[in-house]
């Protein structure tokens, strides 16, 4: 069966920001036409919001590899290119003027990365695991340096700009991913990180924000703390005029000012429980029905294409 109705494995994990095991679940939801559950919890020790209990690593890998496309839409190339132009606008003052090397971690189709060469003389590299997209990289002038995010520390290369755009929120252990990335940085490397901003979550949040592939829902305070333990934050915005829903950080390998971790459990808990209560049942139902239609459409068009190929 293509969409899984089998029993899936879930297990509880510690808070990825403060390692506490004290949490409260604030939302249980389900992906339509499947047995996938989304468990959203808040850490009682620091207020970070993350998926817990979490789908087992094996089931999560299978979802990303086989089912992601049925549940979540693919973007237009022009939209991706526009989003990558934001990266240049935010980083250009920190980049060298001569030819630069760029690594995109979780580069997807590579279209965004490739579009940067319109504005810069750049050597393009990527880390990406999806087989269907990486086969196009060589014709796009992109070198694939690894297909495995767990293998980063074995890569013997340094880059001028490392992009981690909407990737960190997919990581079960964001701090260890950052530690691994330090191996690819020299003292001038700029690391660009952008993630969805918890404080700008778009409604209805149970469908549009708390989605299965996102394991972390960072606030600016929590991510600042986590990043400042490993790197120096040279600039950051919890949303700017280019994109309000996206917070971003520019980082260097030096030791910078450590940002203390404060406990936002009460604020975050009251705020998100109240939003979830207030979201209208009618709008939730409409989004749920739209989602079902989307999954059926993607499923049917995928199978129609396969039948036509035969
Ligand atoms: Zn915590």
Query: What is the per-residue pLDDT across 93-117, written as a single tens digit (0 to 9) for each?
Result: 999 989 999 999 999 899 999 999 9
CA of 209 to the centre of ligand 1 (A): 20
Q: Return the pLDDT at 66.
A: 79
Q: Which of the residues in the chain have pLDDT under 70?
A: 1-4, 73, 306-310
| Domains of the chain, each with CATH number or no CATH | 10-73+265-309 (no CATH), 77-252 (3.40.50.150)
Tell me, what's the pLDDT at 129? 84
Residue 19 CA to ligand 1 centre (angstroms): 6
**pTM of the predicted protein model:** 0.90
Contact 15, 23 (CB under 8 A): yes
pLDDT of residue 3: 59
Cα 265 to averaged position of ligand 1 atoms, centre (Å): 9
Q: How far is the CA of 134 from the centre of ligand 1 (A)?
A: 36
Give whole-number Cα distances, 15 to 22, 53, 231, 233, 250, in Å.
Answer: 8, 11, 20, 22, 24
Q: Which pLDDT score, from 0 to 100, does residue 156 have? A: 95
- Residue 253: per-residue pLDDT: 95
Distance 141 CA to ligand 1 centre (A): 41
Distance CA 125, CA 110 (A): 9
Write down the pLDDT at residue 1: 45
Q: Cα(264) to centroid of ligand 1, in Å?
A: 9
pLDDT at 206: 85
Ligand 1 centroid distance, CA of 22 (Å): 8
């Amino acid at each position: 069966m293509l969409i899984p109705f089998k029993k899936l494995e879930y297990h509880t994990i510690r808070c990825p920001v403060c390692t506490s095991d004290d949490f409260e679940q604030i939302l249980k939801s389900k992906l339509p036409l499947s047995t996938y559950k989304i468990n959203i919890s808040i850490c009682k020790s620091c207020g970070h919001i993350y998926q817990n209990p979490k789908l087992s690593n094996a089931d999560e890998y299978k979802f990303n590899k086989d089912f992601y496309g049925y549940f979540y839409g693919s973007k237009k190339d022009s939209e991706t290119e526009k989003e990558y132009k934001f990266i240049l606008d935010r980083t250009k003052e920190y980049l060298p003027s001569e030819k630069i090397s760029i690594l995109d971690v979780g580069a997807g189709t590579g279209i965004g990365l490739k579009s940067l060469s319109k504005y810069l003389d750049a050597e393009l590299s990527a880390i990406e695991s999806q087989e269907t997209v990486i086969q196009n990289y060589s014709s796009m002038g992109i070198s694939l340096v690894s297909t495995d995010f767990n293998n980063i520390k074995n890569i013997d290369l340094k880059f001028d700009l490392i992009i981690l755009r909407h990737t960190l929120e997919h990581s079960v252990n964001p701090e260890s991913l950052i530690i691994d990335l330090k191996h690819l940085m020299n003292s001038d490397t700029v690391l660009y990180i952008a993630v969805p901003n918890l404080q700008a979550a778009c409604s209805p949040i149970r469908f549009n924000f708390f989605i299965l592939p996102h394991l972390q829902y960072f606030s600016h305070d929590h991510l600042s703390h986590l990043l400042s333990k490993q790197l120096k934050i040279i600039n950051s915005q919890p949303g700017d005029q280019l994109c309000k829903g996206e917070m971003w950080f520019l980082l260097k390998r030096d030791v910078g000012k450590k940002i203390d971790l404060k406990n936002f459990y009460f604020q975050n808990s009251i705020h998100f429980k109240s939003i979830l209560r207030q979201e209208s049942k009618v709008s939730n139902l409409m989004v749920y029905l739209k989602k079902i239609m989307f999954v059926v459409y993607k499923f049917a068009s995928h199978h129609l294409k396969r039948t036509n190929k035969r």
